[in-house]
Amino acid sequence: MHPYLHAQENPDKAAVIMASTGAVETYRELDKATNRMAQLFRSQGLNIGDTVAVFLDNHPNFFDFAWGAQRAGLYYVAIPSRLTAEEASYILSDSGASLLVSSDAKMDVLDELRTRNPDVKQYVYGAEDDRAMEPALAAMPDTPIADERHGTDMLYSSGTTGRPKGVRIPFPESEDIAAPNALVMMAQGAFGFQPGCTYLSPAPLYHAAPLRWCMTVHKMGGTVIVMEKFDPENALSLIEKYKVDVSQWVPTHFSRMLKLPEETRTKYDVSSLTCAVHAAAPCPIPVKEKMIEWWGPIIREYYAGSEGNGFTFINSEDWLEHKGSVGKALLGIVHICDENDDEVPVGEEGQIYFEGGAPVKYHNDPEKTKAAHNKHGWTSLGDVGKVDEDGFLYLTDRKSFMIISGGVNIYPQEIENLLVTHPKIIDAAVIGAPDEDMGEKVVAVVQPADMAEAGDAFAQELEAYLRQTLSGVKVPRQIDFRAELPRVATGKLYKRLLRDEYWGKTGSKIV
């Protein structure tokens, strides 16, 4: 299972269709483009086990990069395209990437990255200087490199300091670039993907789920419809136009589609859909109920992380009997443990651990790696939950109060660390508060040096201050002021008190 095999068997089939333009890349074209990309990597001295990075929006050539790196035996890092130069520079440095692929849409950031990371070679689609990608690729042969070997992605998760940390998993044991993987088997089994399926991808390709699901569809010889930017009505029109049968979403997508006028929602034929996968963030029960009522029992949910240490799954039928659950484990064995790492009784909350999945190891972070394991050797993503008598898992808390807004992971510590560097701020806490559209929104609770400063003008000043360093998605949508933040005698910020207040919970206390 690999695009090059489908290029031989069905060369004119569309591998990628860009939603806004209708531009098509066939399997023959994808195969040649990825061969040239792999040849380019080798020409730059990149060998098996080296690292490259991509810094693109949902670009027509995104999969040329990903599959080129995969067949060259490289680790390929997807950097979120909205990051600032400082944020992207950290990932480049931490991952050890020696080459970066991007486009002229990111030129301002790329120019700064050239200064920050001078040893990272840049190739830029649309550039007119020495970084131009098109002539570099045109000079490469479109035949396979001599030493093809199965490479893999290196994705970034939260770090103990708020900085993202790389999940650098070992290469597959098989060197065969066409070797099947667990996600392909799950897609065909639990999720019901069929060979040659048509898949709608409405999310940014630099995230783990869109990237991995799209490449899974390519392994199966299917067509990926890439939305450059999500629009609820356009998503429905694309399902009808291309007779999409499988898709992957986050709950925010569901919410926005449900908010369309009834006459708009019902005018599109979505009957071709056989599976709508969702994950990445908790889905409100009423939203999922309405989606099942609208699309039928084709909604399938999973819970997992980039680490690959466990994977749970639930279909619509089981969810209707266990509303709010994220299902039973398909990979690993679920354990719910207390603070002493001992298992708790059924129905009681505790930290969620997986036994038997992939080992968890965070790149350049032995402390976080150690913290992810308990005394049994089981591993955790840091989430809290419970299982019911039937063995279904429920999530009851977010890991380390990480904020998930519209399916995007946001790490509060990084924002807090920047806020407290402002000369007028004594203390700061950043939390996720409920948001009907995005699921959660970023809220900063700030203790100013002088409460007389508190007000709209100071909030606007802080927002402008943060935007100098942070990408827009991390900038708080709400800034509130307090004379004092809740810290215990040891100095630990008791963030749960603040979070419970914003989520309308009562009875919280410091313990």
Measured CA to CA, the distance from residue 101 to residue 56 in angstroms comes to 8
Measured CA to CA, the distance from residue 303 to residue 14 in angstroms comes to 30
Closest by alpha carbon to 254, among 403, 436, 394, 397?
A: 436
Per-residue confidence (pLDDT) for residue 16, from 0 to 100 = 98
Secondary structure element (H or E) that encloses residue 55, with its range: strand 51-55
Measured CA to CA, the distance from residue 431 to residue 462 in angstroms comes to 16
Helix (H, G, I), strand (E, B) or coil at 413: helix
In 104-256 the beta strands, taken as DSSP E runs, fall at: 121-125, 152-153, 155-157, 165-167, 198-201, 223-226, 246-249
Cβ–Cβ contacts within 10 Å for residue 339, how many? 7
- DSSP label of 140: S
What dihedral angle (degrees, nearest 10) is formed by the CA atoms of 420, 423, 424, 428? 0
Measured CA to CA, the distance from residue 433 to residue 466 in angstroms comes to 19
Measured CA to CA, the distance from residue 45 to residue 372 in angstroms comes to 35
* CA 388 centroid distance within chain: 28
Measured CA to CA, the distance from residue 494 to residue 429 in angstroms comes to 9
- Crossing angle of helices 27-43 and 62-71, rounded to 10°: 60
| Residue-range domains of the chain with CATH | 26-171 (3.40.50.980), 404-502 (3.30.300.30)
Predicted TM-score of the model (pTM): 0.83
Q: To which residue do tokens 């020409």 refer?
A: 43
The angle subtended at Cα 186 by Cα 390 and Cα 286, nearest 5°, is: 55
Q: How far is CA 371 from CA 333, 377, 378, 493, in A?
A: 19, 11, 11, 20
Cβ–Cβ contacts within 10 Å for residue 227, how many? 19
Per-residue confidence (pLDDT) for residue 491, from 0 to 100 = 45
- Crossing angle of helices 62-71 and 208-219, rounded to 10°: 70
- DSSP label of 160: T
Q: To which residue do tokens 């150690």 refer?
A: 370
Cβ–Cβ contacts within 10 Å for residue 6, how many? 24
Closest by alpha carbon to 419, among 376, 377, 381, 461?
A: 461
Per-residue confidence (pLDDT) for residue 510, from 0 to 100 = 33
Scanning 195-244, the segments in alpha helix (DSSP H) are: 208-219, 232-242
Q: Quick one: tokens of 287?
A: 């939203």
Q: Convert the pLDDT of each residue in 150-209 to its tens digit.
A: 999 999 874 334 578 899 988 888 889 998 888 888 999 999 999 999 999 999 999 889
Mean predicted lDDT score pLDDT of the chain: 91
φ/ψ (deg, to 5) at 91 = -65, -40
Q: Using H for helix, E for strand and C for coil, what is the string for 271-322?
A: CCCCEEEECCCCCCHHHHHHHHHHHCCCEEEEEECCCCCCEEEECHHHHHHC
Measured CA to CA, the distance from residue 189 to residue 370 in angstroms comes to 33
Half-sphere exposure of 286 (CA within 13 A, CB side): 5
Per-residue confidence (pLDDT) for residue 398, from 0 to 100 = 66
What dihedral angle (degrees, nearest 10) is formed by the CA atoms of 411, 202, 170, 196? 170
Find out whether 283 and 357 touch, Cβ atoms under 8 Å.
no
- pLDDT digits (tens), the chain, 511 positions: 899 999 999 999 999 999 999 999 999 999 999 999 999 999 999 999 999 999 999 999 999 999 999 999 999 999 999 889 999 999 999 999 999 999 999 999 999 999 999 999 999 999 999 999 999 999 999 999 999 999 999 998 743 345 788 999 888 888 899 988 888 889 999 999 999 999 999 999 998 899 999 999 999 999 999 999 999 999 999 999 999 999 999 888 998 899 899 999 999 999 999 999 998 777 778 889 999 999 999 999 999 988 889 999 999 999 999 999 999 999 999 999 998 999 999 999 899 999 998 889 999 989 989 999 999 999 999 888 999 999 999 987 666 677 888 888 787 878 888 898 888 988 889 999 999 888 899 999 999 989 999 999 999 999 999 999 999 999 999 999 999 888 654 345 777 788 889 988 644 333 2
Measured CA to CA, the distance from residue 192 to residue 435 in angstroms comes to 32
Closest by alpha carbon to 149, among 77, 70, 63, 75?
A: 70
Measured CA to CA, the distance from residue 450 to residue 427 in angstroms comes to 12
Amino acid at 478: Q
Closest by alpha carbon to 265, among 289, 224, 288, 234?
A: 234
Q: What b-and-e string marks burial along 481-503, b requiring 16 or more CB atoms within 10 Å of the CB?
A: bbeebbeeeeeeebbbbbbeebe
Q: Report DSSP letters for 333-372, one per residue.
A: EEEEE-TTSPBPPTT--EEEEEESSPPP-BTT-HHHHHHT
Closest by alpha carbon to 344, among 313, 305, 388?
A: 388
Find out whether 168 and 192 touch, Cβ atoms under 8 Å.
no
Helix (H, G, I), strand (E, B) or coil at 72: strand
Which residues have a Cβ under 8 Å from the Cβ of 298 and sit 6 or more positions away? 273, 274, 275, 276, 316
Closest by alpha carbon to 101, among 139, 131, 129, 128?
A: 131
Measured CA to CA, the distance from residue 272 to residue 274 in angstroms comes to 6
